[in-house]
Chain A
Amino acid sequence: MFKSRKSVSIAAVSVVLLAQGALAAEEQFFPITSYRVGPYGANGQSFFGGFVDYLNYVNIKEGGVNGVKLVWEECETEYNNAKGIECYERLKDKAKVSSGPIHPMSTGISYALIEKTAADKIPMAMVGYGRTDAVDGSVFPYAFPLVTTYQMQASAIVKFIKEKEKGSLAGKKIVFLYHDSAYGKEPIVALQEEAKLNKFELTVIPVAHPGNEQGAQWLQIRQEKPDYVVFWGWGVMNQTALKAAQKVGFPREKMIGSWWAGSEEDTVPAGDAAKGYMSATWNVAGKNVPLISDIEKVVYGAGKGNLQDTSKIGTILYNRGVSVAVLSVEAIRKAQEKYGKGKAMTGEQVRWAMENLNISNARLKQIGAVDLLPEIKTSCDNHEGSGQVKIQQWDGTKWVVVSNWIEGNKALIHPLFKASAKQYATEKGITPRDCSKES
């Protein structure tokens, strides 16, 4: 069936709206810069499928947010920075009227959009990627590295290993194997700090893009005999690493990946080599989350599903797309509480809401998303709001969660963000806001 890029008004929704007596339907616009083709197209399909499905779900189930219908327009970026800019500019005019947070899903694009979104007063969320020092909202009012950042994640992984090693990492050896790009390089500082604090030995080994050849790196790892490998891969690099680990006989149970190296797209193509491999994640997989099964029933039941391949429902990336959409919609809800229910929210208003998010487990339970994602409470000087991840393990067919929510060492990591944000502010001549004066 044909799926239009723009959400067209759905008969069911209009019926609900009419029943509620809402006349001129307000519309809340979401600019979506997505990618469904190119080297990372497979990842994008699941993620944006989940995102759009949840928006549809809110429309069908509740008739939008307090009667405000959610609409969106998608633009294909192919994970390419220049195309991302073009898409953003194309969607901007509509987003200036009313806008939910924009999710570039690409570190490169989010970097390029930081200043533009601030100038256009459109909030940008970088959930689990992007410019991490934007945690400091005083310098980056419109950028939100929500939930958790690479640095906090790396710190949480160290904490997890430490627990496994019965509370001490002294004298242990950890190898950090990473994609040689902005994405892979960011956690290094955090890991170095952790190494100092916990007295473990850290070796960093980069892999050149695209990472489909890692023979040398893994032989080096075999030589080093580390206790653990912390792994920051992306795309083909993930499967290659798992295969290469198998090739040199490194136990996959000692390999912990980032959340971009921990989806079905990463493990399935590696076959048996992936068994036992662990990764961090800030959202869980599976259809047993009430919200996910309800989306399948409601949205796909109505024939409005965004995915062609419904087997992807419940995968890590699909659930991540849903989680991100939940956060976005909750921000709209929060904004409406302050600025008027039943109205479309501008980017500026949504920005305020994103800075004052408070999604407790009680609220997540109402949505049916308890434990799908962690609790979140943001503020002006903490645009991250959580810093928690779970660790999951691949059992050969599916991801199994093997830990509770683990929070990274905030006292250690957050000052790093502050320092980096300060450097940015001086370079750019930005005077930071005074967070104590924000309400």
Chain B
Amino acid sequence: MIYREAGQFKTSYAADQQLFPIRQDRIGVLIVLAVAFLAIPAVASEYWFSAILIPFLIFSLAALGLNILTGYAGQLSLGSAAFMAVGAYAAYNFQLRIEGIPILVSFACAGLTAAGVGILFGLPSLWIKGFYLAVATLAAQFFIVWCLTKFPWFSNHSSSGVISAQKIVIFGHEFASPREKYLLVLTLVAVMALAAKNMVRSSTGRAWMAVRDMDVAAEVIGIRLMPTKLLAFAVSSFYCGVAGALYAFCYLGSVEPDGFSLDMSFRILFMIIIGGAGSILGSFLGAAFILLLPIFLDIALPRMAGLLGLPFSNATVSHIQILLFGTLIMFFLIVEPHGLARLWQIGKEKLRLWPFPH
């Protein structure tokens, strides 16, 4: 009843090719954007901006990047954090070394640099796939981080290897407060998410999915594997690279190569698995889940322990947190292997029929 597409007729090609062909979806997206751009900046506290919303958006973007590669093109990668590192260090160096370069151009160049590196490390995908490819991307993970540590040029010869991001100035306006940074990140993420949504339904996206589902069949129908796979690596790394630049400039402010650890790559992978591989929305849901769950457990567990009078020390609480995190991941995989995005779809189906399910 609420979510019903009956009666919505497409009368022109333009209408048929819309990004969100169903009116309710269009309204929904607009509402989400309105809330994100207008309502949240008005009410959210600084804590929400800097500790939750900004990292949520940045990790959503990174997860989106990985989702393009793994969820749509079917190439498993465990090196997303390394591509973020490339983006972060590239953006820093563009800002540092090119006089007067606009920051947004730096971010774009950072993305392109990451894309280049991504293509390089995507080459093995032409020979191998599955776990073997995953291990190959691990090589990228370790090698890139090592390079950033070892070549002092990347960190402008800082003795510790840590870089400290420059100020963000766009058209003479400095983005300093968490609210402004949030709006900047939100704008970029929104634009890139819509672009991704558009891309995955284009012929490129369809080619990716064909390769994912069965590469031999895809080749038979005339999809050339090499450019398709490498493009997936490039686009994915571009997204991760921009996310990395935002991570350094809008979130942490200063980063060291070791910060982009394998652990972070895993977290991003968790995001798309929990959120739903092969779904743009899933990237956002997964990022929210993975980021918020530890914070929630961190706040809720001691209270629960207090209420029940359980003899928990701080260390025990933290251990339980990790344990629960692991359990929830297994639980999710068992109960809903297609992720949160699938739950959302089921919800939509229900809404379509509601209130007369028969």
Contacts and interface: CB of A to CB of B under 8 A. Distances in A.
A209 B256 contact: no
A189 B159 contact: yes
Given A37-B319, A181-B161, A188-B159, A92 B46 contact: yes
B101 interface: no
Interface stretch (A80-88, A324-332, A345-353, A355-363): A80-88
Contacts of A74: 314
A108 B259 contact: yes
B30 interface: no
B254 interface: yes
Contact of B164 (A5, A76, A424): A424
Nearest to B252: A112
A410 interface: no
A17 to B, nearest CB: 24
B160 A182 contact: yes
A82 B159 contact: no
A125 B46 CA distance: 23
Interface in A302-341: 308
A415 B61 CA distance: 43
Interface string A398-439: 000000000000000000000010001001110000000000
Given A37-B315, A76-B318, A429 B55 contact: no
A2 B312 contact: yes
Majority-rule SS of A interface residues: helix
B160 A208 contact: no
B294 interface: yes
A165 interface: no
A36 B50 contact: no
A90 B47 contact: yes
B215 interface: no
Interface in B307-344: 309-315, 317-319, 321-322
Contacts of B253: 112, 114-116
Interface string A87-117: 0111011000000000000011001101110
A85 B51 contact: yes
A427 B97 CA distance: 11
A208 B318 CA distance: 28
A80 B311 CA distance: 26
Contact of B309 (A2, A37, A75, A112): A2
A45 interface: yes
A83 B146 contact: no
Contact of A5 (B302, B309, B322): B302
Contacts of B52: 86
B251 interface: yes
Interface residues of B, number: 46
Contacts of A37: 315, 318-319, 321-322
B209 to A, nearest CB: 32
B174 to A, nearest CB: 10
B60 to A, nearest CB: 14
Contact of B159 (A36, A45, A116, A186): A186
A85 B252 contact: yes
A81 B161 contact: no
B258 A86 contact: no
B138 to A, nearest CB: 14
Interface string B44-61: 011100111001000000
A363 B253 CA distance: 39
Contact of A108 (B166, B256, B318): B256
A83 B292 CA distance: 11
A78 interface: yes
Contact of A86 (B55, B146, B311, B322): B55
Nearest to B51: A89
B263 to A, nearest CB: 8
A36 B317 CA distance: 10
Nearest to A4: B306
Nearest to A34: B314
B306 A2 contact: yes
A267 B39 CA distance: 55
A92 B45 CA distance: 11
A180 B161 CA distance: 10
A112 B302 CA distance: 27
Given A37-B315, A76-B318, A2 B258 contact: no
Given A4-B306, A185-B161, A420-B159, A90 B318 contact: no
A188 B160 CA distance: 10
Interface in A159-205: 180-183, 185-186, 188-189
B149 interface: yes
B47 A92 contact: yes
B162 interface: yes
A439 B223 CA distance: 74
B50 A81 contact: no
A29 to B, nearest CB: 15
Contacts of A185: 159-161
A3 interface: yes
Contacts of B306: 2, 4
A41 interface: yes
Contact of A41 (B47, B263, B315): B315
B315 A181 contact: no
Contacts of B252: 81-82, 85, 112
B167 to A, nearest CB: 7
Contacts of B160: 107, 111, 131, 182-183, 185-186
A34 B318 CA distance: 11
A114 B321 CA distance: 28
B162 A111 contact: yes
Given A4-B306, A41-B318, A185-B159, 7 more contacts: A3-B314, A37-B318, A81-B259, A82-B251, A85-B55, A115-B253, A420-B159
Interface of A: 1-5, 34, 36-37, 41, 45, 74-76, 78, 80-83, 85-86, 88-90, 92-93, 107-108, 111-112, 114-116, 131, 180-183, 185-186, 188-189, 208-209, 308, 420, 424, 427-429
13 contacts: A41-B318, A74-B314, A76-B317, A81-B255, A86-B295, A89-B46, A89-B51, A108-B258, A111-B162, A111-B256, A112-B255, A114-B164, A428-B166
Interface of B: 45-47, 50-52, 55, 96, 146, 149, 156, 159-162, 164, 166-167, 251-256, 258-259, 263-264, 294-295, 298, 302, 305-306, 309-315, 317-319, 321-322
